[in-house]
């Protein structure tokens, strides 16, 4: 590893936008494929390699394949513990994992046991002594509409109360071309009222301006992507003003957006717009398995694309601490950790 790559690996990092089933590494995928040879699934169906691109539609097909491979409690436990260990090995000190609870009749997986298993994985990693704190967001898949969204919020609320603070919020995700946020608003309002934090995918594709305007009224605690919010991308100053006024941090995933073709190239990524505004922007991976990346690489890419020196990169990773959903005491601990790890010369 060259010296620059080492800097990014050793940089303490906060990962706030990671979908569990999109984060499954090649090695874990190999174990899953071996467990289920009858499915005839190959690696090329579960990841988008270097230099490759897919439409966003095709990305959502990839998730369907992965879901076939991850359909028992045993699979979820393995996937979640592997993902957490990999983030820890990449220098991530605080991770928020998000996942959509699924029911699988054939394997008796229930939404309840799905979340329980994810929490068990987090606890297991904690007991291994890994240097990473992990929290969980329960995801609403926008395609499933009002009722399922409401059930998901109820489930998240139960776990928020019973998991000792490990479940901290709700994620709204799924294919952005399907469904409409207006049907999900009551569930999101309920979540907010019971103390769950909200991270919402907003304006990931151009057609969502009206929806974004509506959902920004909640307001959410963080925004996933927000690619088409600002005027240069067909959004509006009105939307930008709402985001800025409420100081809502953005979770930005460079490789995901470029490989999923919602952004034409790294240099045209909206990181530039929000970073220049001085608005809280957090570099994240989205789906490190599907997009074949890791958080160190994403920081390095942001730095080389937007000409950020080590000091600016350090600041970026440090400022992400203020955007986490965990309790204040953990924020303080993380700030302390960053102070201890900061190199003398940057
Ligand atoms: C929107 C995404 C996404 O929940 O099964 N997901 N939603 N935009 C994206 N950009 C590429 N990437 C992942 O993880 C997979 C699920 O996360 C959401 C989709 O709902 C996908 O099915 P889980 O762990």
Tens of pLDDT along the chain (346 residues) come to: 788 899 999 999 999 999 999 999 999 999 999 999 999 999 899 999 988 988 999 999 999 999 999 999 999 999 999 999 999 999 999 999 999 999 999 999 999 999 999 999 999 999 999 999 999 999 999 999 999 999 999 999 999 999 999 999 999 999 999 999 999 999 999 999 999 999 999 999 998 899 999 999 999 999 999 999 999 999 999 999 999 999 999 999 999 999 999 999 999 999 999 999 999 999 999 999 999 999 999 999 999 999 999 999 999 999 999 999 999 999 999 999 999 999 877 7
User: How far is 126 from 153, CA to CA, in rounded Å?
Assistant: 26
For ligand 1, atom 5: residue with the closest CA: 21
State the distance from the centre of ligand 1 to the C-alpha of 160, rounded, in angstroms: 22
- Is 285 close to ligand 1, i.e. is its CB under 6 Å away? no
Question: CB of 335 within 8 A of CB of 296?
Answer: no
- DSSP state letter for 249: -
User: How far is 192 from 169, CA to CA, in rounded Å?
Assistant: 9
User: Given ligand 1 and candidates 17, 19, 20, which is best to mutate, with the most ligand atoms within 8 Å of its CB?
Assistant: 19
State the distance from the centre of ligand 1 to the C-alpha of 2, rounded, in angstroms: 33
Please give the full DSSP string across 64-101, using - where no structure is assigned.
HHHHHH--SHHHHHHHHHHHHHHHHHTTEEEEEEEE--
State the distance from the centre of ligand 1 to the C-alpha of 202, rounded, in angstroms: 13
State the distance from the centre of ligand 1 to the C-alpha of 16, rounded, in angstroms: 14
Contacts of residue 178, defined as CB under 8 A and 6 or more positions apart, other chains included, come to 142, 143
Q: In what order do the strands lie in the sheet with 197-202?
A: 13-19, 92-99, 133-141, 167-173, 197-202, 222-225, 250-252, 281-283
For ligand 1, atom 19: residue with the closest CA: 174
Q: Could you report how far apart the first and last alpha carbons of the chain are, in Å? A: 19
Residue 204 annotated to the active site: yes
pTM of the shown model: 0.98
- Is 251 close to ligand 1, i.e. is its CB under 6 Å away? no
User: How far is 236 from 269, CA to CA, in rounded Å?
Assistant: 17
Task: Give the atom of ligand 1 at the shortest distance from the alpha carbon of 175.
Answer: 1
- Is 19 close to ligand 1, i.e. is its CB under 6 Å away? yes
Which residue of the set 86, 204, 211, 298 is catalytic?
204
């Amino acid at each position: 590893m060259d010296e620059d790559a080492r800097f990014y690996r050793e940089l303490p990092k906060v990962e706030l936008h990671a979908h569990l089933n999109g984060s499954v590494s090649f090695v874990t995928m190999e174990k899953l494929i071996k467990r289920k040879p009858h499915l005839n699934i190959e690696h090329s169906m579960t990841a988008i390699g270097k230099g490759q691109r897919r439409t966003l539609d095709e990305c959502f097909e990839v998730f369907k394949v992965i879901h076939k491979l991850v359909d028992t409690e045993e699979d979820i436990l393995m996937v979640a513990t592997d993902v957490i260990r990999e983030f820890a090995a990449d220098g991530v000190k605080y991770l928020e994992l998000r996942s959509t609870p699924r029911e699988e009749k054939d394997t008796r997986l229930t939404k309840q046991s799905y979340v329980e298993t994810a929490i068990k994985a987090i606890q297991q990693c904690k007991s291994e002594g890994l240097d990473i704190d992990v929290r969980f967001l329960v995801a609403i898949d926008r395609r499933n509409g009002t009722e399922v969204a409401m059930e998901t919020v109820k489930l998240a609320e139960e776990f928020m109360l019973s998991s000792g603070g490990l479940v901290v919020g709700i994620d709204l995700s799924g294919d952005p071309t399907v469904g409409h946020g207006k049907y999900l608003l009551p569930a999101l309002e309920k979540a907010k009222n019971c103390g769950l934090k909200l991270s919402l995918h907003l304006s990931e594709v151009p057609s969502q301006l009206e929806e974004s305007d509506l959902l920004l009224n909640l307001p959410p605690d963080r925004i996933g992507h927000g690619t088409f919010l600002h005027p240069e991308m067909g959004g509006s100053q009105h939307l930008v003003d709402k985001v800025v006024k409420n100081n809502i941090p953005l979770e930005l995933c460079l490789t995901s957006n470029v490989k999923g073709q919602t952004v034409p190239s790294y240099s045209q990524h909206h990181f530039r717009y929000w970073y220049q505004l001085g608005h809280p922007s957090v570099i994240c991976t989205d789906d490190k398995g599907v997009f074949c990346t890791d958080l160190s690489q994403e920081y390095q890419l942001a730095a080389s694309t937007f000409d950020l020196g080590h000091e600016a990169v350090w600041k970026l990773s440090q400022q992400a601490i203020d955007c986490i959903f965990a309790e204040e005491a953990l924020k303080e601990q993380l700030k302390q950790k960053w102070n201890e790890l900061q190199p003398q010369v940057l």
